[in-house]
Amino acid sequence: MTLIFFLIALVYSTVGFAGGSSYLFFLTLAGVPRAESVPLVLICNLAVSTVSFFHFYRAGHFRFRKVLPFMLLSIPMAFLGACIPTRKEIFFLLLGVCLACAGLRLFLFKEMTASKPAPNSKKLWFLGIPAGALMGFFSGLVGIGGGIFLSPFLFLTGLGTLSEASAAASFFIFVNSLSGLIGKMQNGFVIGPHGWSLVISALCGGWMGSRLGCNRFPRIGLQRILAVLTLFISTGLILKAF
């Protein structure tokens, strides 16, 4: 399992994601109870998103003003979503559908090599606040960081290049994972030694992947790899819901 976590973090972090949805999928296959797997995934998200943000920020891709409107309500809504218990079938269905939308977006659309003209400040806040609230709520409900929602949204609205969206996603994942983890802590959880080995493995993969994503890998190829992986996982989750 440590190798799987390393590879997931390696691939996802190249575009600023932390891999939370895939961690959840494989932990579920391994029979780990959701009460244990979700906090573990959120900690992995924190580790990977931290190193991803460090690399994308250092490379000059982070634009805080583009993320702030999405953050304001996403943080409390992630906490709220994390406090709401969900049936297993609904959990799998929600996660699977969300990942399918994100995977199709990554697969069907070409990479944007430059930013389109940004909307004015009023429009950015008008779009960002409600969208961020929804992203945060579903992130907390499912137990992921939400970058997989934010990044396609930034593409569709033309708010940035792939690198800018990747930097924004890594920051968004960090704040929402932290908020969701605090929500999960209301019920208490314990992570054993094996769990921490998965966190370390994800951290190492995230460090390598985010460095490659910032500097070396062709962006359109990364989108295709991530899209195939995401669609595969989403199909398994949706089938599992039924």
- Residues 166-176 pLDDT 10s: 788 889 889 88
The rounded distance, in Å, linking the Cα atoms of 40 and 44 is 6
Q: Structure tokens of 136?
A: 């945060």
Mean pLDDT of 14-27: 82
Q: What is the pLDDT of residues 125-152, one digit of tens each?
A: 888 899 889 988 988 887 777 777 787 7
What's the pLDDT at 103?
Answer: 73
Helix ranges (H only) for 59-192 are 64-83, 88-108, 121-142, 147-156, 162-184
Q: Which amino acid is at 37?
A: S
pLDDT at 46 over 90: yes
The answer to whether the CB of 40 falls within 8 A of the CB of 195 is yes
What's the pLDDT at 205?
Answer: 92
Q: Structure tokens of 95?
A: 């996660």
pTM of the model: 0.80
pLDDT at 5 over 70: yes
Contacts of 234 (CB under 8 A, 6+ apart): 95, 96, 97, 98, 99, 100, 103
Query: Coil, helix or strand for 144?
Result: coil
The answer to whether the CB of 230 falls within 8 A of the CB of 31 is no
Where does the pLDDT of residue 202 fall: very low under 50, low under 70, confident under 90, or very high at 90 and above? very high
Contacts of 118 (CB under 8 A, 6+ apart): 66, 124, 158, 159
Q: Structure tokens of 115?
A: 């930013």
Where does the pLDDT of residue 45 fall: very low under 50, low under 70, confident under 90, or very high at 90 and above? very high
The rounded distance, in Å, linking the Cα atoms of 3 and 10 is 10
Please give the DSSP secondary-structure letter assigned to residue 189: -
pLDDT at 113 over 50: no
Number of Cβ within 10 Å of residue 20's Cβ equals 32
| H or E segment to which residue 196 belongs | helix 193-215
Interior/surface letters 104-131, b for 16+ CB within 10 angstroms, e for the rest: ebbeeeeebeeeeeeeeeeebeebbbeb
The rounded distance, in Å, linking the Cα atoms of 57 and 80 is 29
What's the pLDDT at 49?
Answer: 92
